[in-house]
């Protein structure tokens, strides 16, 4: 991940933030954006808005994170 504070208006994330197709539209979602130019994937909480924080992963780290979720190595508490 990138160190330091990153928010949704960071210039590395200039595209549209997306949500899961399973989102119910109540604005309580995790959003994501793939910044191909910078090789990053950003993840943020839609409720936090522009002042919230973004977890910024390298593409490979995000892929490993998704693999861990799908395999059950990471579970909800």
Q: What is the pLDDT of residues 39-71, one digit of tens each?
A: 999 998 888 888 888 888 999 999 998 899 899
Range of the domain at 31: 18-71
Confidence label for 7 from pLDDT (cuts 50, 70 and 90): confident
Please report whether residue 45 resides in a domain. yes
Which segments within the chain are labelled E, that is strand?
18-19, 30-35, 40-45, 54-58
Please report whether residue 64 resides in a domain. yes
Q: What is the Cβ-side half-sphere exposure of residue 26, based on CA atoms within 13 angstroms?
A: 3
Please report whether residue 42 resides in a domain. yes
State the average pLDDT over residues 10-36.
81
Count of domains observed in the chain: 1
């Amino acid at each position: 991940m990138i160190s330091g504070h990153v928010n949704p208006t960071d210039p590395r994330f200039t595209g549209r933030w997306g949500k899961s197709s399973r989102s119910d539209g109540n604005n309580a979602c995790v959003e994501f954006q793939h910044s191909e130019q910078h090789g990053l994937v950003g993840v943020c909480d839609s409720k936090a808005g522009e002042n919230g924080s973004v977890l910024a992963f390298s593409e490979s780290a995000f892929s490993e994170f998704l693999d861990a979720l799908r395999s059950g190595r990471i579970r909800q508490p």
